Each structure stands twice: as C-alpha cells, then as structure tokens.
Amino acid sequence: MEKNEYFSPIVLCMIQARMDGKRFPGKVLKNINGIPIISLIIKRASKAKIISKIIVVTSRNKKDDILVEYLERQNIEFFRGSENNVLERFYEAAKKYNADYIIRLTGDNPFVDPNIINKVVSEILGKNYEYVSNDLERTYPLGFDVEVLTFAALEKIIHLASKSEDYEHVTLFIRNNPKLFLTKNILAPVNLRHPDWRLTVDEPNDLELIQKIMKISSDEFVSFEEIINILENNRDLISINSHVKQKT
C-alpha cells in the first residue's frame, strides 16, 4: 500500500540493554532512587509523544535471563536476538514491529530526555534524511544520545555491512560511510554545551554521580536543562567521574 497523507508512521524506540557488560555487569538493573536504570529510561522515554512503541532489545544469552524476568514482571515489552550481531537483532525486531523509523537508545543513559528525543526524531519524519543524531558532532553531554534512522537505512546497512564491528554497533556503518547516507546532526543550545561531561553509566563512579543528581532534584523526570543547571551550581560533582575514560 502506498503511503499517503493519512499515513501514520510507526516510530519504534529500541533500548539496547544487556547484563554482562565487562566494566559494570548488571548496571541496567542498578537502582537510582529506588528505580532500576532500565525502568527509569523507559519512564522518561515514554514522555516523548513522537514514539509509537518502546521495546527493550536484549540477547538470547542466558546471562540476560534475569533482565528478561524483570521486564516480564513489569509488563515491559522486549525482543531477544543475537548476542554479538546487534545489527541483526535490531533488524529482526524492526521487522517484527513493522517499524518505519527506529530510535536507538542504550541502557546506560538513565537521563535520556523526551524533549531531545522529540527534537531529533522530528528532523527525520516526512523528510529525506536517512539518519539523524545528536552525537555525530558531540555538543550534548555523554548520556543524552539519541539516534533515529529509517527502516530503509537499516536494511541498507544489513545488505552492505561486512565487518564484525558493523554487526556489533548498529549505526557504525553509517558513521564510517557518510557519503552513502543522507544524515543530519542536532546541536545542543550554545549555553548548554558540555560535550566533556559524563552522564552515562559505564562504571560505579558514573552511577554515583547520577544518584547524587537525583538526590538534589528528587524528580525522576528532571529535564536536561535542569540537570545542566544542577551541575553548573555544584561543580564538585563533575569530578566524581571525570577520570573515567569512554570506550571508543
């Protein structure tokens, strides 16, 4: 069926999560103010009205059974696929849910912001872009990353990718082959640009920082702007995880 003016695209938000991270195993179920990280991400992402459905995409590895058991208890939808071929995992999930657009979030970014999601996704809906992100050129702090691509672009990667790293990292092929895709990068507001700050969870020190911010705010839906304001007024907090080196 041809798409017309009444066509309502399916925008599928996939949160990539697993339990066996080498640096901080089990981090997606660690608590922030009593809420597991994965649940906090889902709650915050759910505020983005532009999303049609949210699912957690994890692997068939036995180590991820505990995550799946938690998701089942919470009635959170999930998809299990290949452990190492994450690209295939995303593609199979996108096909299952008939996605037109795929938002990729990761299970280590508890402060994902619904307004940023809406902003990034709105730049691809009904336009010619195949991939839009806010970290092709980093201006946002690490931890507010949002990527969205068309299903056609995901299918193109599936057909063209041949390196192991392309299978492990869903959108790496786009970044390494920018001439093959029409892309756009979203910049943070000039007064809120802190690309050197870490608000992701890769190590225990990262979690400590997130927990301290949440104690100051006490609002699970604290906005990106308010988080920046908290850190600017409590500069000592930034040193908690400033020594942590981000994986390439």
User: pLDDT at position 248, please?
Assistant: 60
∠ CA 138-156-38, rounded to 5°: 50
User: pLDDT at position 2, please?
Assistant: 38
User: pLDDT at position 117, please?
Assistant: 98
User: pLDDT at position 245, please?
Assistant: 83
Q: Which tens digit of pLDDT belongs to each residue from 172-195?
A: 999 999 999 999 999 999 999 999
Considering the entire predicted model, what is its pTM? 0.94
DSSP 63: G
Q: Which regions in the chain score pLDDT beneath 70? A: 1-7, 247-248
Domains in the chain, start-ordered, CATH in brackets?
11-240 (3.90.550.10)
User: pLDDT at position 126, please?
Assistant: 87
Looking at the chain, the number of H-run helices and the number of E-run strands are 9, 9
Distance between CA atoms of residues 161 and 169, nearest Å: 11
Distance between CA atoms of residues 37 and 217, nearest Å: 16
> In sequence order, what are the residues at sequence separation of 6 or more whose Cβ sits closer than 8 angstroms to the Cβ of residue 162?
none
